Chains A and B, each alone.
Chain A
Amino acid sequence: MGYLSAAWTVASRDISRFWKYRFWLAGQLAMNLADVFIFALVFNNIVNKAYIPDYLKFMTPGVAAIATFAAAFSIGREVGVEIRREVTQYLLSLPMSRSAFVFGRILGGALRGMIYQVSFLVLAALIVNVPTTTKALYIALTTVMLTFSMSSLAIAISTSTKDFNLQATLRALTYYILFFLSNVFYPKEVLAMRFPPQILQIVINTPVSLASDIYRWGFGYYENVDAVSKILLLLIWSLTLTTLASLAYLRNLTKQ
């Protein structure tokens, strides 16, 4: 089997498994969507209109970013279960190169994020604006980079320790840090009132924040966003995380 077909076969396993969790996913999806509307209803009247003219339109692209991140991140749990049940031994014995295997795994997680995201992108197009072709391309690129970063991050965390509970804790911790320290719920102006400037710089430059800003720009909520530099920054994040995570995954799998 060639490198790419091996990687694709590995990824297809993770995708079909994703489908098995479709009810769980539907629940997740419903929760994400409920978030959008509840937040929109509540905040639309509370939040200062000077900062956010229309909370629903502000929130929807951000939720697309969070949802994508969550779906891509979900592969971490399964990788963790596989390590605990030693299914990993089986995967390591299969006739393919280690790097094809690792790449396939990360690809699988990323594709899960992309599949999950489609409905949110449609929603954003309906609620905010239909993007132009160029902007659609930016949105697509952002999605690819965000999902690859998050999939590999989740996998790396899951293989960092054999202790299943510790894995779960580390994943949850990373998840919530990325979730709360982001601009998904509040724009930079509001965040600036909460966080000291140094922290603010970090918060608005995490992959999730970068992605939601690009989405907001892509769907026409924001006009003046330096999309190019944001996408470059996201690219750096993505390459760094994917490379480090692949190496960590490989090293942890083959330690014994």
Chain B
Amino acid sequence: MEVAVKIRKLVKRFGNTVAVDSLDLDINEGEIFGLLGPNGSGKTTTLLIISTVYKPTSGEVYVYGHDVIREGDVVRKYVGIAFQEPKALWVDKPYELLLWHARVVGYSTSEAREVVKNVMEVLGLWEHRNKYFYQLSGGTRKKVEIAKVLIQKPKIAIFDEPTAQVDVISKHALWDAIRELRTQGSTVIIATNDMFEAERMCERIAIIYKGKLKALGTVEELKDSIPEGDIVELMLDGDENTYLRAEDLLKQYGKTVRSNDSLKIFLNKGEERAIEILDLLKSRGFKIRKIMVKEPSLDDVFFYMTGAKLKEG
């Protein structure tokens, strides 16, 4: 299996901010790879370095063996990216924008017309083709951005949060289009916050947090990587304080993750422990609204790996 993108000890700093912190990653040819991480974890920065838009502060990135700094011209021939924020000026119109893009990525004028029309139809963009960019809805702008990569069919196709702002029906159309792109030979990299998208689309997932790699593997591998195989989830009557007190009490059972309206405890033998927990909480006067024992979802893996609290501090 050939490595399409090889990232070694990648560091990217913006002033005092460390956006990417000693990241190591191999992305294999032909896979759909997911980059998962909370806001500000360095997903976009990493993708922009692969696309030669940003330069690494230190470390190395190779695209099919070509260094992103020294051989940027070659790397750009392999990589196409759909940005998180659609890149256009307000006076641009989708059709002319995409037509120009098609010509830049190497189509003749007549081929360009054909491929642009096809892709626009698939994404439901054709009716919007002659509107000004400022007249388009957020989701439509996003689809125009994605259309660029679908037209380009690059060896390495990068999508930065492709379905953020996109409605459910369009999401499925986009996912199908991205899968089709892979079938036609592209390696796909998707950055996302959306666990459902990651689980549905990605064969392998890297979870990054604060610029660091926290976990890597298939969805199944990630779920299995949590040593405590069960989760007890509790909902209590009361406010934040109630949850704080409950968390203190239950820490002895395993790693806890608290949000505003639930408390999760990662542990083994969930069913048995749940009864103990129930008794303990009752004896301390807690009012329990709901208790569940479940297997970890990708959400849970994410919380577990990043140790993120929904409310910081």
Contacts and interface: CB of A to CB of B under 8 A. Distances in A.
A188 to B, nearest CB: 42
Contacts of B96: 16
Contacts of A97: 73
Interface in A1-26: 1, 6, 9-10, 12-13, 16-17, 20
Contacts of A256: 14, 53-55
Given A12-B100, A13-B100, A89-B83, 15 more contacts: A1-B106, A6-B104, A9-B103, A86-B87, A90-B87, A92-B52, A93-B53, A93-B81, A95-B76, A95-B106, A96-B104, A98-B72, A254-B55, A256-B14, A256-B55
A12 B76 CA distance: 21
Interface in A71-113: 78, 81-82, 85-87, 89-90, 92-98
Contact of B48 (A6, A10, A81, A89): A89
B53 A92 contact: yes
A6 to B, nearest CB: 7
Nearest to B45: A256
B114 interface: no
B25 interface: no
Contacts of B103: 9
Interface in A196-230: none
B219 interface: no
A20 B55 CA distance: 34
Specify which of A82, A87, A94, A98 lies most central, judged by the most chain B CB atoms within 10 Å of its CB. A94
8 contacts: A9-B104, A12-B100, A87-B87, A90-B83, A92-B51, A93-B52, A93-B76, A256-B54
B85 A86 contact: yes
A177 to B, nearest CB: 28
Interface string B1-40: 0000000000000100000000000000000000000000
Contacts of A94: 76, 104-105
B89 A82 contact: yes
B91 interface: yes
B7 to A, nearest CB: 17
A6 B53 CA distance: 18
A20 B91 contact: yes
Chain B contact-residue range equals 20 to 34
A95 to B, nearest CB: 5
B87 A89 contact: yes
A219 B105 CA distance: 44
Contacts of A93: 51-53, 76, 79-81
Interface of B: 14, 48, 51-55, 72-73, 76-77, 79-81, 83, 85, 87-89, 91, 96, 100, 103-106
Interface in A48-92: 78, 81-82, 85-87, 89-90, 92
Interface of A: 1, 6, 9-10, 12-13, 16-17, 20, 78, 81-82, 85-87, 89-90, 92-98, 254, 256
Contacts of B76: 93-96
A127 B91 CA distance: 37
A2 to B, nearest CB: 11
Contacts of A10: 104
Contact of B89 (A81, A89, A92, A95): A81
Given A94-B104, A95-B77, A85 B87 contact: yes
Nearest to B81: A93
Contacts of A89: 48, 53, 83, 87
A75 to B, nearest CB: 13
B182 to A, nearest CB: 20
Q: 6 nearest interchain CB pairs?
A: A90-B87, A93-B51, A95-B76, A87-B87, A97-B73, A92-B53
Contacts of B79: 93
Specify which of B14, B54, B87, B105 lies most central, judged by the most chain A CB atoms within 10 Å of its CB. B87
Contacts of B55: 254, 256
Contacts of A98: 72-73
A176 B79 CA distance: 43
Specify which of B76, B77, B80, B88 lies most central, judged by the most chain A CB atoms within 10 Å of its CB. B76
Nearest to B51: A93
B104 A95 contact: yes
